[in-house]
């Protein structure tokens, strides 16, 4: 698999902003069943091996998971403060649940679980997200098994088909549009900021 041409500028931005803890946070927009937009901040967990797919994690009990089915689309917006760059990545969302039939995706789900900190894994054992607040004891469950994901743990992938990269420094500013064509080839176009 060849890396998409937008991967190099994104990797560069990640590297140059690595000293900023929040550089791993980006916003993901989806559409609710009623057609209304939903936006939230998520944590970038890396790229799925040998792909251009961005990896995140989520709880299958969350509203975010409810908004993702086999045909879901989303757009992530990532701003890097240090380099003054924005990346908007639009594409199909893939939610890898505990019953996903693809063994490679199940292995990736398990690896994502194992790479989480103990504190992050523990959050998946907390009470149901979005429900009425539980008592404080409910937020002190026994630590989950660090090698086997809890059933509600999901790997979330964004498979971009369009990436809009804007550099806000410079006069004039620079902007590129990357689009995946029907033959699976990435096209790059420099556009006006």
SS3 136: helix
Q: Determine the longest span between alpha carbons in the chain, in angstroms.
A: 56
Residue 34 C-beta-side C-alpha neighbours within 13 Å: 3
pLDDT of residue 115: 97
CA atoms within 13 A on the CB side of 107: 5
Encoding tokens for residue 139?
């937020």
Region of residue 46 (left: phi > 0; alpha: psi -120 to 50; beta: else) = left
**Residue numbers of the chain with a pLDDT score lower than 50:** none
For residue 68, the model assigns a pLDDT of 83
Bridge partner residues of 65 (DSSP): none
Please answer whether residues 50 and 30 qualify as being in contact, where contact means their C-beta atoms are separated by less than 8 angstroms. no
- Residue 101 pLDDT: 94
Residue-level pLDDT at 132: 96
State the alpha helices, DSSP H only, in the chain: 7-16, 63-66, 103-115, 118-123
DSSP reduced 3-state for 184? coil
* Prediction pTM value: 0.94
What pLDDT does 65 receive?
Answer: 82
Sign of the torsion formed by the C-alpha atoms of 27, 144, 116 and 134: positive
Looking at residue 7, its pLDDT comes to 97
Query: Which residues, including other chains, have CB under 8 Å from residue 74's CB and lie 6 or more apart?
Result: 28, 29, 30, 68, 90, 91, 92, 93, 158
């Amino acid at each position: 698999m060849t890396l998409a041409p937008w991967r190099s500028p994104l990797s560069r931005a990640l590297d140059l902003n690595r000293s900023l803890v929040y550089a791993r946070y980006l916003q993901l927009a989806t559409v609710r069943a009623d057609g209304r937009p939903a936006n939230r901040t998520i944590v970038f967990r890396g790229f799925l091996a040998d792909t251009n797919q961005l990896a995140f994690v989520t709880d299958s009990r969350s509203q975010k998971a409810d908004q993702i089915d086999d045909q879901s689309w989303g757009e992530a917006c990532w701003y890097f403060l240090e380099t003054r760059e924005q990346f908007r990545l639009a594409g199909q969302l893939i939610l890898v649940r505990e019953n996903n039939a693809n063994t490679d995706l199940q292995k990736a789900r398990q690896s994502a679980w194992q790479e989480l900190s103990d504190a992050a894994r523990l959050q998946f054992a907390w009470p149901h997200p979005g429900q009425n607040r539980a008592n404080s004891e409910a937020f002190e469950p026994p630590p989950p098994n660090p090698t086997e994901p809890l059933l509600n743990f999901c790997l979330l992938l964004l498979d971009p088909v369009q990436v809009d990269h804007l550099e806000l420094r410079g006069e004039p500013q620079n902007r590129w549009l990357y689009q995946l064509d029907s033959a699976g080839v990435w096209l790059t176009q420099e556009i006006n900021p």
